[in-house]
Chains A and B, each alone.
Chain A
Amino acid sequence: MSGGSALERRYGRLLSCYPAAHRRQHEQEMLGVLMTDARPGQRRPGLAESADLIWGALRVRLRPGLDSAADPGWRDTLAVLSVVLPLTVLLVYAGSEATAFSLTLEPDGAGSLLLYPAASLAVPLLLTALVLLRLRRTAALATAGLMIAITAASLIQAGVIGLGNALEAAAFAGFVLVLELAALLASPGPRRGLQILSRRYRMLVAAVAAAVGAATGLSTPHPGWRLPAAALVATIAIGMAVASPLSRRLLVLLAIPFCSTTLVFVLSSQLPAPVSGAVACLPSVVISCLVIVAIRRSARTQAAATAKDSAERD
């Protein structure tokens, strides 16, 4: 039975992705199910099965923070965010690239937004395609993979250009990917997000993101455009703040990556790189913490309401 024990060892290695508490509770049970389900003579876990186990581990790991019992408002907002975030990043990048191109600028002209010029469009394009195809699981695994790749690239970069510069460059991509992964894992996913965004709103989101991209693209080489661009962004933010509770929550979540990249842009000319990189990340970290507190609080309120509800029914 050496084939069986080799398979069991490999399953055990995959199960080590799960948190310790979950392993104590379920590891033997899951191994039993996996081994019973294995084909006779099977020596390795299948690809789909491995992906499914890693996906399960990701969901279980994320649950305590962003509980699936969070109130429907936050769950729906995160579902919308899972679609809107890669789309917005893609259109903002594309808008600023196109503007820079039409002004026949050096690609560097719009470069403060762009981490790795070639990869910068490929990454949001890939994630946008996956969420529009409603492939939640593939999108989550791709996001996790990209996070690892970008962390590795930043560490290598840090050795070349210094930690501060690398932090500045990777902050935006890092915040976007962490947020996207959280949105995919802690919500009903892009299918629900697209359902909420009716066709009309989808066009609106696309138009707004493209406009912001064009405005930021123009304002990089032309300081005269900065005020109109800032006014445009402020108008959109006010619109989102008053439109509905969902758009308000969406605004807060979108602020997490975009406020860091804006601050990097503003501060990098005034402060040395290590300081500006760290300062630029600070508001994003603060907003993230506040959002997590708000979601956990809403989950507690929701749980209390459910308990009260079922007590009254009994």
Chain B
Amino acid sequence: MNERSFQEPTFLILTALAAGAQHGYGIMTDVAQISSGRVRLRAGTLYAALDRLTAEQLIEVDHEEIVDTRLRRYYRLTPPGAQRLAAEVERLRANASVAARRLALLTGTA
């Protein structure tokens, strides 16, 4: 297993799509909400990431619709994408619980 961990924007995009198919602007607002406004994706970054994730087959196009003459393309998580996200969640959870245990020991002995 030589899979590198996701960078935060990628992790948040996949997390946004874990709730169901969303279009570009929907992902942007959802990512801002998930991260409590800390991560604000811009269009260039978002579409570079969507393009890469599609190429890596972690996400795919769900459907398209036209709203006010504008094209909206919805993306969804693929099964391998969901697997990668789950693996990443597990990794972060394991790291966080070790950190929490050690911090508890530290404050316990202090």
Which residues from chain A sit less than 8 Å from chain B, CB to CB? 22, 26, 28-37, 48-49, 52-57, 59-60, 63, 67-69, 71-72, 75, 188, 310, 313
Contact = CB atoms under 8 A, between A and B. Distances in A.
B25 A32 contact: yes
Interface in B1-50: 2, 4, 7, 23-25, 28, 42-48
Contact of A31 (B48, B55, B70): B70
Nearest to A64: B55
B25 A57 contact: no
A256 B55 CA distance: 30
B51 interface: yes
Contacts of B46: 33
Q: Which of A29, A31, A57, A313 has the most CB of B within 10 A?
A: A29
Contact of B70 (A26, A32, A55, A310): A32
A71 B56 CA distance: 13
**Nearest 3 Cβ contacts at the A-B interface:** A56-B44, A32-B70, A52-B44
Interface of B: 2, 4, 7, 23-25, 28, 42-48, 51-52, 55-56, 70-73, 80, 83
B52 A56 contact: no
A154 B32 CA distance: 45
A29 B52 contact: no
Nearest to B46: A33
B25 A36 contact: yes
B42 A49 contact: yes
Contacts of A36: 25, 70
Contact of A72 (B2, B25, B71): B2
A166 B21 CA distance: 55
A52 B43 contact: yes
B7 A188 contact: yes
A29 B24 contact: yes
B47 A35 contact: no
Given A37-B25, A59-B48, A30 B43 contact: yes
Contact of A63 (B2, B52, B80): B52
A55 B51 contact: no
B79 to A, nearest CB: 8
B1 to A, nearest CB: 9
A37 B47 contact: no
A54 B72 contact: no
Q: Which of B28, B43, B46, B73 has the most CB of A within 10 A?
A: B43
B33 to A, nearest CB: 15
Contacts of A55: 44-45, 48
Contacts of A63: 51-52, 55
A49 B71 CA distance: 21
B51 A60 contact: yes
B76 to A, nearest CB: 15
Given A22-B51, A35-B70, A188-B4, A53 B28 contact: no
Contacts of A310: 80
Contact of B28 (A28, A33, A188): A33
Given A56-B44, A188-B4, 5 more contacts: A28-B70, A32-B72, A33-B28, A37-B28, A57-B44
B43 A33 contact: yes
A30 B70 contact: no
Contact of A29 (B7, B42, B71): B71
